[in-house]
Structure 1
Amino acid sequence: MSVLLEFSMFPTSSNCRDGDSVSAQVSKIVDVIDKSGVAYQLTPMGTVIETDTMKEALAIIELAYEQINGCDRVYSSLKFDIRKNTKNRLKTKIASVEKVLNRKVNH
């Protein structure tokens, strides 16, 4: 099984922000994801992870929240794409689109 999870999580309370910036808090989250060994891709608006189970994906969310749980208010948005009998979709989904685009360029 492949569980793709795209999420964003950041504090909205002033006690955890540096003015308008939340990069210090987001960096803590990305650091623990990196150390977890889970495949991930950082994007400007969030992070995409891939796990083998829903339980693993939710454990990453809990781990991420633990990094900023001292904040008075936290915003988070999550999107899942769960598919059986597949793996490595973090790369193969992009490769599939790039393959189609390459065909269009060559024609």
Structure 2
Amino acid sequence: MSVLLEFAMFPTSDNCREGSSVSKQVAKIIDAIDKSGVAYQLTPMGTVVETKTMREALDIIELAYEQVKDCERVYSSLKFDIRHNSENRLINKIKSVENNLQREVHK
């Protein structure tokens, strides 16, 4: 099974922000994910991780929250794409689109 989880998590409270920037807090989250060994991709609007189970995906959310739990208020949004009998979709979904783009260009 492949669980793709796209999420954003960041503090909205003044005690954990520097002006309008939350990049230091987000960097703490990304560092923790990196150290966990889970495959991930950082994007300008969030982070995508791929796990083998829903429990592992939810554990990543808990790990992320642990990095910002001292903040008075934290915002988070989550999206899941769960597929059985599949793996490496973090890379393969992008390759599939790129392959289709190449077919369109060569027509």
* TM > 0.5 fold call: yes
Deviations 1:72-106 (A, max 9, x none): 00000000000000000000000000000000001
Q: Which residue of 2 aligns with 1:4?
A: 4
Q: For 1:101 and 1:24, how far apart are their aligned partners in 2?
A: 36
| Length-normalised TM-score, structure 1 | 1.00
Displacement of 1:60 after TM fit?
0.4
Runs of 4+, deviation exceeding 2 Å: none
Q: Which residue of 1 aligns with 2:26?
A: 26
1:30-45 alignment, distance < 5 Å: 30-45=30-45
Question: What secondary structure does 1:18 align onto?
Answer: coil
Displacement of 1:3 after TM fit?
0.1
Q: Which residue of 2 aligns with 1:98?
A: 98
Give unmatched runs, 5+ long, in structure 1: none
Q: For 1:75 and 1:47, how far apart are their aligned partners in 2?
A: 14
Aligned residues: 107
Q: Does 1:59 align with 2:26?
A: no
Letter in 2 for 1:72: E
Give unmatched runs, 5+ long, in structure 2: none
Q: Which residue of 2 aligns with 1:70?
A: 70
Letter in 2 for 1:87: E
Q: For 2:62 and 2:72, how far apart are their aligned partners in 1?
A: 17
